[in-house]
Amino acid sequence: MNTLLELHAQGTELDHTQRFLLSPGSRYRLGRADSQLHLSADRSNHSEPDRSTFLAVPWDHLISRTHATLSVQLDHLLVHQAPGAVNPIFFEGKEVESCRIELGSHFVLGTTQFVLGHADHTGQLARPVEEVRFNPQSLRKVRYHDAENRIEVLTLLPEVIEGAANDNDLYRRLTQLLLKGIVHAEAIAIVVLSVGNEPKILHWDRRRETAGQFQTSRRLIVEGLGTQDQSVLHIWEQQAPLIDEATLASEFDWAFCTPVDGLAGQPGGIYVAGRMGKNFQPGATLVEAQQLDADVKFCELVAEIIGSVLKAKRLERQKAGLRQFFAPPILTALGDDLDTNLLEPCECDVTVMFCDLRGFSKRAEHAANDLIGLLDRVSRALGVMTQAILTHGGVTGDFQGDATLGFWGWPFPSPEAAVNACRAALAIRSEFARTAAQKNHPLADFAMGIGIAHGRAVAGKIGTLDQVKVTVFGPVVNLASRLEGLTKQLRVPIVLDETTANLVRGRLTPGEGRLRRLARLQPNGMDNAVTVSELLPPVAELPYLTDDLLVEFERGVDQFMSGDWEGAYQSFHSMPAQDRGQDFLTQMITMSNRVAPKGWDGVLKMPDK
């Protein structure tokens, strides 16, 4: 294999592209200067210029005449900023004076990106004497003369696809299988069009291993994959002269390229090359001799099967990645032909739920000798949270240690967002209450705290379709997190902000859940006060807290906010002992001798998050 490396320079315009072959052990200079400027500079220093070691990028005026020096190693590149270079080198988003570039990574000078890779094995032939583009109608009429062999190869195709450990393994298996099925082929490659419409070989194989490196026609790959709908055949004259690769035409005098839909996420296909058979008559073309029509037909059949399987796998990977974040109704609405624009970050109204696991730190300390067991229990607890979020139409945004973020209202707006968030919160509370009643249950000693807030935010995906994460940003997320933290001080499991409470009140049926205002307070680190409410289960699940008692409690909250702390104390004192919701305010009233402080404005300033 070729040991040369390749540095691909790509500017902001499609024609601002250049590829430089780099030899390991060599040093190069990289800059904007053309050969004439470079020659003058070298002569001023009384030294002979070495144009072969100067890499010119003339289109980018942000690059200095000599901007960087490159030291080429076997599998990486060392880049150093040259003295006098005006603008910095950018690597991994940071300004650097030097960096190490591994294969597949890149650095940036000015507006130009430089990507390091293995040298391409594509060559450039003179124009073919014949070019044929095949269409399905013509290929349907072609008959196989070796149908038994073709069928045998096709029966192995599912095993090749399913048995591949990764993409590279798939390409290796596929080229070997195609060599068995395409009898006239001497060599086969899997190719794609990468950045700047440049051909790239993903894998190649040939019938005679001792024949050396397989080189391809750049022109054929560009023309064959540019259409993405039909195979293209090129035929060259025997001993046709090459523009830059002196051995290609003498080795192969025909080649065709067949597109494969969805290959490697880029325009890709199968490149097949060989020589004319012994029975080929001088002066005749391959198409007239009809030696390759059946091979093209067979290759297109294989390409169609592979494309369909890759598409199915891609959709399955997409759904598998999205399934952990989206509820089934959302996935159904997104459909199989996923419109990625729906997942792009956008500003929208969302209801955010922040659910934290109580008792984790204590359990972690006690389970220092069984952290795997603790992880399993925490995972089960987080599973309770995510299952409830997805069941009630929400999106799971992220895991933060022992906490889960869920939100509603994206990717599709919904008037039921706040109500569904409350339903999910009540389901989580109910499940933890159920497991707490079972002494030996893995989650028996865990509890939870939930904060819910509604407001404007930016929601959307991060990453790729194969590996996507979704999240939500904005003050409403911080508020939900603060409300979750307040559940510890207010001693209730679920706390809502005022906006969510107003949206839910009257729409959540008594058989689903109930609300009661708790206080008006200003969370630590926030400028504005917020009226918070508790979300409670229905009377059937919490019989000691009747609806009449909730009315009495809210009367006490009104008295507390207005400064009548004696009246508030009496109202809270009428609550049953099991109710922890009155503890915080009762304690504050008692500590102040049932008298509101001077200048009381009804707002509690919370000292902690």
On whether the CB atoms of residues 28 and 53 are closer than 8 A, the answer is yes
pLDDT tens, 335-364? 655 555 677 888 999 999 999 887 655 555
Short-list 2, 299, 249, 1, CA closest to 129: 249
Tokens, residue 356: 């934290």
Residue 52 to residues 6, 24, 27, 80, Cα–Cα distance (Å): 14, 14, 10, 19
Short-list 4, 10, 60, CA closest to 28: 4
Tokens, residue 23: 């030899």
Short-list 538, 536, 535, CA closest to 510: 538
502-511 long-range Cβ contacts below 8 angstroms, 24+ apart: 503/351, 503/418, 503/419, 503/454, 504/418, 504/419, 504/422, 504/535, 507/419, 508/419, 508/422, 508/423, 510/538, 510/539, 510/547, 511/538, 511/540
Question: For position 38, what pLDDT does the model report?
Answer: 37
Cβ neighbours, 10 Å, residue 478: 16
Question: For position 19, what pLDDT does the model report?
Answer: 74
Cβ neighbours, 10 Å, residue 319: 14
Would you put residue 387 in left (φ > 0), alpha (ψ -120 to 50) or beta?
alpha
DSSP-derived letter for residue 521 is E
With residue 348 as reference, give the H or E element that holds it: strand 346-358
What 3-state class would DSSP assign to 110?
A: coil
Question: For position 292, what pLDDT does the model report?
Answer: 78
Question: For position 44, what pLDDT does the model report?
Answer: 35
The list of the chain residues with pLDDT below 50 reads: 1-2, 34-51, 125, 239-250, 282, 288
φ/ψ of 427, rounded to 5, equals: -65, -40
On whether the CB atoms of residues 550 and 535 are closer than 8 A, the answer is no
pLDDT tens, 231-253? 888 887 654 444 443 334 446 78
On whether the CB atoms of residues 275 and 207 are closer than 8 A, the answer is no
205-208 long-range Cβ contacts below 8 angstroms, 24+ apart: 205/172, 205/175, 205/176, 205/179, 206/179, 207/179
On whether the CB atoms of residues 23 and 4 are closer than 8 A, the answer is yes
Strands (DSSP E) contained in 172-288 are: 187-194, 198-206, 216-217, 232-235, 254-260, 268-274
* String of DSSP letters for 366-410: HTTT-HHHHHHHHHHHHHHHHHHHHHTT-EEEEEETTEEEEEES-
The domains of the chain, with CATH numbers, are 5-119 (2.60.200.20), 123-313 (3.30.450.40), 345-605 (3.30.70.1230)
Between CA 378 and CA 395 the distance in angstroms is: 20
On whether the CB atoms of residues 447 and 419 are closer than 8 A, the answer is no
